[in-house]
Structure 1
């Protein structure tokens, strides 16, 4: 009887501690919905950054279209709109980067806590220190031997591996691109013309009425057509000049001059 009485407090205490651990773990899992919040925040920030890029692309296209005008007064307003659009996109990019860092830190902390809780749940009541250190460092726990020689060898091997510098992987030399990738710029102009998303930064200052909004949308469509024509014309000119250069290099007169 005395032995059962002595063992009962330990048994009840262990059961109470396990219930308390399960309750704490359940409360933490119910409150840790940070992944859904991070997903919604990322989508919202990406949408805001894309809107800024659309406005910036439209302002730059308008500046290029009005650049042929020699009047300095008429070119100042498109230049001012383009500068404000670029500045707004820069500020939005900085804010998005800061929020991404903060959300990434919170997500990593929650993921690490979840991994430790799930790992501690599978382990026994007493956790060895080397097992915890190995789990936190992402390494396998040390193998326990009776002799100390194998442990010393493994420790020396680990120290040698840590001391050896890790060389970065060899990368191939980047080739010089003939022309920049302007596909996102074209998509921004096309979607800007279709959706008319000019609520944040307007290209024209006198766009308060509905007629002004319709004028802006038609102006964006004209800008898109103008930019597409300019790009196609420049690409055709570049191809024509390159083909002419090839013909000149392989001409018979040049071959005769080489023979002489």
Structure 2
């Protein structure tokens, strides 16, 4: 059976365009507003959704997403509530892939076996565990594959040709290429450098490559969409929530930006 992620990338390949991958933190700024936003992202143009699992020590994230995690946790978000959000999303949408993105600690505390079972039953399609590198695949990889969940791996500008095979081993769904060193939401990547990196990756795998970190504007997204199979935007969306005077305004501002990003990505190759 074809996974939602594989199916979505096949659709987009036939349409000759990249995917817009949108990140939001579950429970930010509160459960109700976050759920409302999640449900509306596909209609605004999101092809794939990364749903952040809030954690108290998100070491790979910059100030914007760190603050989102704090807001969500203060509002009472839990792993159970995050999975319930996915369940409620699936009542209305059975086609948009959802990847849970976050850190190993909340999964470990939940219980990896129970988490994989519940995530699959909720309608999760993949996992991106930032602090669990490919060398530690045995921690979650076998459980994820048994549950039918894609295990998303990350490559960075420092991932050389010697290490790349280990990163690609057992990777599925897509490869998340971190466009610059550092944390999320800080800096801007160089397009030529990213293009060369994608070319090197494609010499070793056919897995789709999605570029993230440092992508904030429709113009930046369109440039990366020329070369990558997907473009990930997170901090710019979370910023909309942080700067809004009300949760409702935050939701609307995010959806408006997603619409602009989607339009840019969809027309990048035309």
Larger radius of gyration: 1
Task: Note whether the superposition's TM-score is higher than 0.5.
Answer: no
User: Which one has a larger percent strand, Structure 1 or Structure 2?
Assistant: 2
State TM-score, norm by structure 2.
0.17
User: Which one has a larger percent helix, Structure 1 or Structure 2?
Assistant: 1
State TM-score, norm by structure 1.
0.17
